[in-house]
Chain A
């Protein structure tokens, strides 16, 4: 399932209240090929509707709230994951086309594909003879 990304041209006031909550930095794999960047982030426990992706200028913010199914009256007796939120931000270089980010979330793994701007992709230039 793909996910909408919000683009904002002003400060992220909506995110501020959430950002005071403790958050965990998710582990990521980032790799690049000639057409763009692929980012994989581990965010286990985040359902599709609790994932937020914000692009502001050249900054990408990934946030997700962990919501496993918990029965009523659950009391923690042992916790290695201590915060209910993942958060990480990245600076994107200019040649990336942030308007065309593709995002998929499956089994707690977020896959983002950020293509390079068309003009930044390598092109073969045909040479006419004569």
Chain B
């Protein structure tokens, strides 16, 4: 299977070497198995997911959002990110557009999270156009003492 590089300053971007990149084109993105609930690559905003021993970090690169309209929900291991960017207000009618590449409108993306996340410990923030969601991973399963009544 393909692996990403570990603990590099750019580790969030997965410095795949050329071979990995070519295989990526054929087989889709490495690492997370695609889940039926995860939207395929090619939609916006772009999402990167990283993991530490304590947490899973989801980054959605979504500039210019109205922060009050962002919705983050976590339901049965599936993280859902909803947001909206309105079209720029039309200027005066003497404006001419030379390029109009930026997306506008509403997005709704889901990310299937690994099984060991704790849905009670989720934090989300929006900074520099990145919606970052941090979910703590459960402590390694410890045998629990069950009290006998």
Binding site for B on A (CB under 8 A): 27-34, 40, 42-47, 66, 68-84, 106-109
B51 near A79 with CB under 8 A, answer no
Within 8 Å CB of B31, what residues of A?
76-79
Main secondary structure of the interface of A (DSSP, over half): loop
Q: Can you report 27 residue pairs joining A to B where beta carbons are below 8 Å apart?
A: A28-B99, A29-B101, A30-B97, A32-B95, A42-B102, A45-B59, A46-B128, A66-B13, A68-B12, A68-B59, A69-B127, A73-B53, A74-B7, A74-B52, A75-B11, A75-B52, A76-B48, A76-B49, A76-B50, A77-B4, A79-B29, A81-B48, A83-B13, A84-B12, A108-B62, A108-B129, A109-B129
B61 near A44 with CB under 8 A, answer yes
Q: How far is the CA of A47 from the CA of B128 in the complex (A)?
A: 6
Binding site for A on B (CB under 8 A): 4-7, 10-14, 16, 29, 31-32, 41, 45-55, 57, 59, 61-65, 67, 88, 91-92, 94-103, 111, 126-130, 132, 134
Q: Which single residue of chain A is at the shortest CB-CB distance from B24?
A: A82
Q: How far is the CA of A109 from the CA of B14 in the complex (A)?
A: 24
B6 near A75 with CB under 8 A, answer yes
Which of A43, A46, A76, A77 is packed against the most chain B CB atoms within 10 Å? A76
Q: How far is the CA of A46 from the CA of B63 in the complex (A)?
A: 10
Q: How far is the CA of A63 from the CA of B100 in the complex (A)?
A: 19
A70 near B57 with CB under 8 A, answer yes
Question: Which of A28, A77, A81 contacts B32, CB < 8 Å?
Answer: A77
- Contacts known (A27-B102, A29-B102, A108-B128); A77 close to B49, Cβ less than 8 A: yes
**Chain A nearest CB, measured from B10 CB (Å):** 5
B51 near A68 with CB under 8 A, answer no
Question: Which of A31, A47, A75 contacts B4, CB < 8 Å?
Answer: A75
